[in-house]
Amino acid sequence: PEGKLQLVQRHVRAFPDFPKKGILFRDICPILKSPAALTAVTDLFEEHVRSHQLQVDLIVACAGLDARGFLFGPLLAQRLGVGFVLVRKKGKLPGATVSVAYDLEYGSAEVEIQEDAVAPGQKVLIIDDLLATGERQQSGTELQQKVEQADIQGCMVVIELRDLKGADRLKPHNIFSLLQY
| E strand residue ranges, the chain | 13-16, 24-27, 59-65, 83-89, 97-104, 107-114, 123-131, 151-160, 175-180
4, 25, 79, 99: which one contacts ligand HPA (CB under 6 A)? 25
Please give the helix or strand (H or E) that residue 80 lies within, else none. Answer: helix 69-80
Query: What's the min distance (Å) between Cβ of 80 and ligand PRP?
Result: 21
Q: 169 an active-site residue?
A: no
- Helix 35-51 / helix 69-80 crossing angle, nearest 10 deg: 60
25 contact choice in ligand PRP, ligand HPA, none (CB below 5 to 8 Å, kind-dependent) = ligand HPA
By CB under 6 A, residue 27 contacts ligand PRP: no
26, 88, 123, 173: which one contacts ligand HPA (CB under 6 A)? 26
* Total residues interacting with ligand HPA, rule: CB under 6 A: 5
Length of the chain: 181
Q: 15 CB contacts (<8 Å, ≥6 apart)?
A: 24, 25, 27
Binding string to ligand PRP for residues 106 to 145, with x set by CB under 6 A, is what? ----------------------xxxxxxxxxx--------
132, 147, 175, 178: which one contacts ligand HPA (CB under 6 A)? 132
CA dist 142 and 177 (Å) reads 20
- CA angle centred on 140, ends 179 and 99, rounded to 5°: 150
Q: 142 with 169: CB under 8 angstroms?
A: no
166 contact choice in ligand HPA, ligand PRP, none (CB below 5 to 8 Å, kind-dependent) = ligand PRP
What are the residue numbers of the active site? 68, 105
Q: Please give the residue ranges that form the binding site for ligand PRP (CB under 6 A).
A: 65-68, 104-105, 128-137, 166
Interface ranges with ligand HPA (CB under 6 A): 25-26, 105, 130, 132
